[in-house]
Amino acid sequence: MTIPHYSGTPVEGDLRYHDGGLRPAVGVHNFQVLRANHTYPAQAEGCGYTYNHAPMLCYWRGRFWLEFLSGPRHEHQAPCHTLLTHSPDGRSWSTPQVVFPTFTLADGALTVAHQRMGFYVAPNGRLLILAFCGKLPTPNDGTGIGRAVREIDEDGTVGPLYFLRYNPGYGPQNTPYPFYATAPDPEFISACAHLLGDPLMVQQWYEDDQKAQDDLYVVRGSGPFQAKAFCWYTLPDGRIVGMWKDHYFTVAAAWTPGEVPLPEPAPTIRYGWGKCWGQRTADGRYALVYNRHGGKPERRYPLAITTSADGLTFDSDLLTVHGEVPPQRFFGVYKDAGPQYIRGTSITSARQITPLGAPPYFILIDRAVRDEGTSYHYQPPATYSHLQPALLDQLATAFVDLPVPVYRGTTWTTDAPFRETAVAIAHHQQQGVYAVEMEAAALYAFATATGHPVVCFAHVTNQMAQIEGDFEKGADNGSQDALAIVARVSQRWRKLPHS
């Protein structure tokens, strides 16, 4: 097995300097979301807690969302809860709100928050936020309570709190929140079920749930390999590169039992007690971001980046992404200095703008970006055209039992293929767009202006001719699947009141 390796220069950062003595990555901007303030809590997160850690980041519906845990002074000190903040531009952030509060266990102890995964955008477009409810003395050793989940609305409000998965010994009978499957919203349940069925996503949970007796986790820790802080990306040939804390890597043909080789440490990609983040970038290359040094592991700096053309050989010189380590204003145990908890917003390849699965599949278009001309003859300028709400309500759960996948989400309507540039594709990926097509925005604008019921589906059949055999539409050129969807739409449309 050939795992990722580094062949650039220098080999590691110089710990005498906070930037490691490395050249800066030109164009990088750093923004501070929260400044701890024990003296004036209202200027921070409201509680005056000074241990703030485990930030998780995502971008959804035109807004950045960031989750972090917060405790009084030290790591693993109760009470420790999880908060959420959001921003339209990454610079100005909302006042953090507690989304996963601590609660009291039967023995009187308070729970302690922990998380290695924060957000999940489901195929139906719902955004879930997650955190793990642990207990002292070690919340992430598998003896905790379970993983909690809520849904985030576009305006920043959050839905009811549920447990998504219980650790051994816990369940609805001894926890204060219900199981997700009892929720009244079938779309929320569907979003949770899709997450539980994604082996790569749930692999991030293993550390907190390591005593689980079922087969949810494809890779488990063994010996010095603890399987902590999992991250992954996909190579052009479909293989999956997985990476963990303590510089362990593997390359697998599929993330299924028996297909994942035993992870092994990468001799040339070394980092301390921090994490490593890897992803494919918008230009088709790959990036690794980590604290590169072979010295004292508690020194979690500098934060550096190296890139690769193939996802295996990282040969660009290390550059500093963040080289500042300010003086510690408030003491705390296990507050290792430096920018260390690394998360990225992933961009993947494109007609399939953001992959939801292997083509072919369908998307029930709930809104479409108006990057064409016809819609402006029917409606005033706006970013999107929308499916009529009554139709959306009737169709939201209409296709769950069909053999062909039908997702729900946003598309980009453009009537000029030459506009589908790499920059435009990357922009629409960041906006949460799933596919590009040529008609939906105009048809929905027409429907809004005239009152006629119009429903649009995107039949995603290709990845912009990026792979062999692209444009495969399925049996009989996709007509069987399309007719099944048309029939289901007809059945649901008849249930609507008609004048």
The pLDDT profile of the chain, 499 residues, written as one tens digit per residue, is 899 999 987 777 788 888 888 999 988 888 889 988 888 988 888 889 999 999 999 888 878 899 999 999 999 899 999 999 999 888 899 999 999 999 999 889 999 999 899 999 887 888 999 999 999 999 999 999 999 999 999 889 999 999 999 999 999 999 999 999 999 999 999 999 989 998 999 999 999 999 998 999 999 999 999 999 999 998 888 889 999 988 999 999 999 998 999 999 998 988 877 789 998 876 778 999 998 776 666 778 889 999 999 999 999 988 999 888 888 888 888 888 788 777 776 432 225 677 777 778 889 999 999 988 889 888 998 889 999 998 888 888 888 888 888 888 899 998 766 667 777 787 787 778 888 888 899 999 999 998 888 999 998 876 544 444 433 444 444 677 888 888 888 888 877 665 5
pLDDT given at position 296: 67
Q: Does this model's pTM top 0.85? A: no
Beta-carbon neighbour count of residue 430 at 10 Å? 16
Vertex 272: Cα angle to 74 and 28 (nearest 5): 90
Indicate the helix (H) or strand (E) that contains 442: helix 440-450
Q: Tokens 């299924």 label which residue?
A: 256
Backbone φ, ψ for residue 122 (5° rounding): -80, 160
The reported pLDDT for the residue numbered 210 is 94
**29 CB burial (10 A radius; 0-12, 13-18, 19+):** exposed
Domains in the chain: boundaries:
5-322, 361-493
Rounded Cα gap, residues 436 and 416, in angstroms? 11
Q: 3-state class of 490 per DSSP?
A: helix
Give the closest residue to 16 by CA, choosing from 322, 368, 323, 454: 323
Contact 250, 264 (CB under 8 A): yes
Q: Token digits for 178?
A: 């219900």
Contact 249, 266 (CB under 8 A): yes
Supply the pLDDT for residue 214.
Answer: 92
Q: Which CATH class is domain 5-322?
A: mainly beta
Name the token pair of 453. Answer: 């019921």
**CATH superfamily name and code, 361-493:** Nucleoside phosphorylase domain (3.40.50.1580)
What confidence score (pLDDT) does residue 478 get?
63
Taking the CA of residue 151 as centre, how many other CA atoms within 13 Å lie in the half-sphere pointing to its CB? 20
**Quick one: CA torsion of 232, 235, 238, 240, rounded to 10 degrees?**
-30
CB 52 within 8 Å of CB 70 = yes
Per-residue pLDDT at 462: 64
Q: How far is CA 48 from CA 33, 86, 200, in A?
A: 15, 20, 36
> By C-alpha distance, which of 151, 99, 100 is closest to 122?
151
- What does DSSP assign to residue 148? E
The conformational region for residue 178 under phi > 0 = left, psi -120 to 50 = alpha, else beta, is beta
pLDDT of residue 123: 76
Q: Name residue 322's amino acid.
A: H
